[in-house]
Amino acid sequence: MSSTVATAPERAAKQDRSPAPPRRRVPAPYFLLIPAVVILLIGMGYPLVWQIVTSFQEFGLKQQFGQPADFVGLANYFELATNPDMWGVVVRSLLFMVITAFLTLAIGLLLAVLMTAVGKAVRLTLQVSLLLAWAMPVVAAMTVWIWLFDRRRGVVNYLLDMIPGVDMNRFAWLENPLTFFMVASIIVIWMSVPFVAFSVYAGLTQVSDEVLEAAQLDGATPWQRLRFIIMPMIRPVIAIVLLLQLIWDLRVFTQITMLQDAGSRASEFDLLGTYIYKLGAGSQDFGMASAVSIFVLVLTVAISWYYVRSLLKEDEQS
Amino acid sequence: MTTATTPAQLPARSADTRASGRSPKVRTRPPFRLSRVIYSAIAIAVAIGWVFPVYWMINSSLLPNRTLQSFIPTFFPVNGSLNNYANTLEDGTFFSALGISLSVTLIAVFFCLLFAFLAAVAISRFRFKGRKSFVLAVLIVQMLPAEGLFIAQYKMVASVGLLNSIIGLSVIYTAAVVPFTIWMLRGFVAGIPADLEEAAMVDGLSRTQAFMRITFPLLAPGLVASGVFAFLQAWNEFTVALVLLPAEAMQTLPLWLRGFIQASATRETDWGQVMAASTLVAVPVIVFFLIVQGRMTSGLVSGAVKG
């Protein structure tokens, strides 16, 4: 760290002689980065390293009371890999992530296009209602949804029950994993679609009218205009929102925890976030919890790898 | 990227002009044929559906428990009162949680903006060795799941004796939000041409003066947008607070609200009060958010498009 800083002015000076973007001569950018780097090292870097180290250790209750933690190599990972509970959690989490993220993206895209197709007053109405949902703090939103899905007095069961031939009176949504995760997914989609819709809409407003008109004059069909002009232009936005949705939906925690508060804490109702939490805070098995955490990190990096790589390539070209 | 967009350019030619159909000869709103009436109807239906939970929260918060206990829902608060709010506020724990939430959030936002601003200037105005690694690190760090790190953060904060403290939580929040803030701000900084500053320097200002007088005012919207984003992140955060504030007396608003529901889980849930409590937590955020959201979205998009 300190050596980097010491050589910084020298490096910056060297860099400056190249004709490229560097326009500034004075103090090295490294000084500007110090505060951010320091806080990141403290808040994220150190915990990450600790977590990695601990994932190779036996770190249970005994270690909590001061016993030294023994290194056990990959034992925690092996134990996880052979644990059927864990596989259930992983498969559920991945399914939940993919279904929820893609549905969010699809609905968000449709709503963004819808916003461009309606008049100003209608668009504002739609935007305000989406904003209200977006701005709801997660915990507050969860309490409302739990109330909406309340078994006996929830308005969802009441309304569904009014449909002829449907008997949903006192249907317990949160007692069966399938409907539990359906509800979770609906809530997460409700909360995340506004972000996607607004981002894509902002992207759509940047598509140039002239280009579209020119294409139309050249005989491009609406589909071709969508496929060859609009889509490529908003692709960066779609890529980043999809990536963020995937990452956020993989680590969804608050929603699941609060639904479990209202329903069941059995392990079939766990996703990776709550599973780690139970291992760590509940069973005090920090070694195993760390191993699962590292697994989630690797999974996240794998999911975002393609995006990060393409971003790096662009950076090289610029 | 053929359209390098700056936040300033963003709203200039929005869909408004296109969608309002001011150029009748060329139908520039592709690729759908259904009439606008149908679209409008769909949009209104979606709007009503989407806002319903928020409406339901407020509606229920105004109704007496007796009414809420009925198996037939009451759709309009005709006999509504603010009793649930009064009961919730009487407790006093709300205000303590509010104070803790405010302190933690404001500290985190302040440092987050300061640090992120410096870093954003560094990466968008300078080319230097390690720049790319830093950008990459920022990108990856913001993907780290809180649930994957909280044990280590707990151990660390506990070992320096900062559990149940505002400082401990603020440090973790600052670190957690800084990457995204840097990400957002760099788009804004990059959107302001450095030439402007150089012109001012040619006119005799020092570099710092040029920056403060020319660039900084132009950056204000970006700082506001990122600040709001950081604020909402910290204000709504749940997991880390749950872990780092184990004491009953130290609760942020999200923890307080959850405790509120849990407490009533033992008896028949007092939904009227729970909904009043939820509204108390939500309404300030919603109002704040509605005021500033436009800038946030354009900030996010310009960050994404800039790559």
Burial grade of B198 (CB within 10 A; 0-12, 13-18, 19 or more): middle
Kindly identify which residue of chain B lies nearest to residue A186, measuring between CA atoms. Answer: B50
Of A46-50, B266-270, B274-278, which range is least confident? Answer: B266-270
- What rounded mean pLDDT belongs to chain B? 81
User: Domain count of chain A?
Assistant: 1
| Best to test chain A binding among B39, B42, B149 (most A CBs inside 10 Å) | B149
- How far is the C-alpha of A52 from the C-alpha of A50, rounded, in Å? 5
Q: Encode burial over B204-241: b for 16+ CB neighbours within 10 A, e otherwise.
A: ebeeeebbeebbeebbebbbebbbbbbbbbbbbbbbbb
Q: Return averaged pLDDT per consecutive 10 residues of chain A, 318 residues in all.
A: 40 44 60 92 91 86 73 87 91 96 96 90 92 89 92 88 82 92 96 92 82 84 82 85 90 91 87 90 85 89 83 64
Question: What tens digit of pLDDT does each residue of B27-68 get?
Answer: 455 555 557 889 999 999 999 999 999 999 999 999 988 888
Is A218 a domain residue? yes
pLDDT of residue A2: 38
* Average confidence (pLDDT) over B299-305: 56
Backbone angles phi, psi at B262, to 5 degrees: -60, -40
In chain B, CATH 1.10.3720.10 sits at: 88-306
Rounded percentage of chain B residues whose pLDDT exceeds 70: 82
Task: Give the model's pLDDT for residue B302.
Answer: 58
CA distance A178 to chain B (A): 22
Tell me what pLDDT residue A305 has. 85
A154-194 tens-digit pLDDT: 899 999 988 888 787 788 899 999 999 999 999 999 999 99
Q: pLDDT tens across B190-248, in order?
A: 888 878 888 888 888 887 788 788 888 888 878 888 888 888 889 989 989 999 999 98
Domain annotation covers residue A36: no
Q: Which residue has the tokens 């990059």?
A: B190
Chosen from A54, A114, A136, A151 to mutate, greatest number of chain B CBs within 10 A: A136
- Residue A256's closest chain B neighbor by CA? B239
Residue A23 lies in a domain: no
Q: Is residue A289 part of a domain?
A: yes
Instruction: Flag whether A185 is in a domain.
Output: yes
Greater pLDDT, B263 or B163: B163
The secondary structure of A80-92 as a DSSP string is HHT-HHHHHHHHH
List the one residue out of B155, B182, B137, B130 whose CA is nearest residue B243: B155
CATH topology of domain B88-306: MetI-like fold (1.10.3720)
Q: How far is CA A122 from CA A74, A108, A136, A196, B76, in A?
A: 58, 17, 22, 19, 24
CATH number for the domain harbouring residue A131: 1.10.3720.10
Identify whether A180 is part of a domain. yes
Rounded Cα distance, B241 and B239, in Å? 5
Q: Residue A6: what residue type?
A: A
CB-CB contact of A204 with A234 (8 Å): yes
B297 or B174: which leads in pLDDT: B174
Q: Determine contact, residues A285/A59, Cβ cutoff 8 Å.
A: yes
Residue A76 lies in a domain: yes
Q: What is the full DSSP assignment across B114-153?
A: HHHHHHHHHHHH---TTHHHHHHHHHHHTTS-HHHHHHHH
- 0.90 cut: is pTM over it? no
Domain that holds residue A192: 57-317
ipTM of the shown complex: 0.83
Dist CA B25 CA B174 (whole Å) = 53
